[in-house]
Amino acid sequence: MKAVILAAGEGTRMRPLTATRPKAMLPVANRPILEHIIKSARDGGVNDFICVVGYRNGVVRDYFGDGGHLGIHIDYVEQKQQLGTAHAIGTVQDLVDDRFIVMNGDALVRSSDIRSLMKRDGEVLMALKMMKDPGKYGVVKTSGERIAEIIEKPMRATSNLVNAGIYLFSDLIFEGIKATERSERGEYEITDSIMRLASDNVDVGYLMLDTWIDIGMPWNLLDANEFLLSGIRTEISGEIEPYATLKGEVVVGDDTIIRNGSYITGPAIIGNGCDIGPNCYIRPGTSVGDDVRIGNAVEIKNSIIMEKTHVGHLSYLGDSVIGYGCNFGAGTKVANLRHDGRNIRVVMEGGSIDTGRRKLGVIMGDCVHTGINTSINVGVMMAARRSTRPGEVVMG
């Protein structure tokens, strides 16, 4: 059975992190989201993949190639215009067999759930997840063992079940896609195609997922990172100097040096070619990409730091996502907790958004440089290639 992975979109809500890469290629636990999804499906029994690509598709193709290094085969289909999920799935009609899986390229799921999905019968099967805040998703109503209704982001949810964006289809779905009209958002939605088939008395079944980590907003990368790090085991390939301390599950990559006085508490991953310390403190939930420099007396907590970033001495950052090639001037401090303890809100296109997190630092695009003693407020989004002056306070 083949798996189709939808990875064509930029992920506009993930800006500024997607300025140079598609959303599916953002790293968590030092690997692109898409790689984690592919490996999960592979371990669930899928060896043949079709990636629907679009925005900056060369990044995906260059990284994965034909998939041979992962023990799988990957074909690519370019969705030149992002006209919705039904349109994207329609592009693969000539490449799939009579039954195939579809997965979104921005959500993590366990291989056991993929295995369970593949064992099910039926023309159309949708994966569901119970959520406390379903209104942000497509809310699903069921009747017995069938899907009765799908409502996209309702003002008031009448069910806690949401569409997880994972499906098992027969080739009958292409008839539903051909009959699908544009939605109010101007897109061809696969949920409309599914309900079109349901109205023609096609049974639409469902499967409840055990685990589903949706990565819809930049701060969701931290949730995904925490989930993936919880499963790592200690592996030391680099050099640990005599007076450095590693506690818990910590991965240290090739050609990395952990200098004396450094204290790393897992779960944490340090990539290849890194220079860490001396006398720095890396706390749980942190992923450090390749060729990163972390200087003296730096503290980092629950953060993602992408490749080739330098964090200068006497700096602090917590609950943050830091892009590629950034440089923190000495003494840069990132706030991650409001004085009143309330959830942190972030200003994005469309207004202020409640992140649902009590702790959130900065979301920093690629190649940002901060001047010495820069202070960055909670929930700040910093555009790629921005710089700050020495002593500057960044409020928003």
Residue ranges covered by each domain of the chain: 2-216, 228-394
pLDDT at 305: 98
Q: What is the pTM of this model?
A: 0.92
pLDDT at 174: 92
Instruction: Give the CATH architecture of domain 228-394.
Output: 3 Solenoid (2.160)
Structure tokens, 251? 């991965």
pLDDT at 252: 98
pLDDT at 155: 67
pLDDT at 65: 94
pLDDT tens, residue by residue, 330-381: 999 999 999 998 999 998 876 888 898 999 999 999 999 999 999 999 999 9
pLDDT at 187: 83
pLDDT at 143: 80
Mean pLDDT, to the nearest integer, of 274-296? Answer: 97
CATH class of the domain comprising 2-216: alpha beta
Q: Which of 36, 87, 310, 313 is catalytic?
A: 313
The SS3 assignment for 134 reads: helix
pLDDT tens, residue by residue, 109-150: 999 999 999 988 888 899 999 888 777 778 888 888 888 888
87 assigned to active site: no
Structure tokens, 275? 């220079």
pLDDT tens, residue by residue, 195-224: 888 888 888 889 999 889 999 899 999 999
298-337 burial string, b = 16+ CB within 10 Å, else e?
A: bbbbbbbbbbbbbbbbbbbbbbbbbbbbbbbbbbbbbbbb
The SS3 assignment for 322 reads: strand
Residue 29 has pLDDT above 90, yes or no: yes
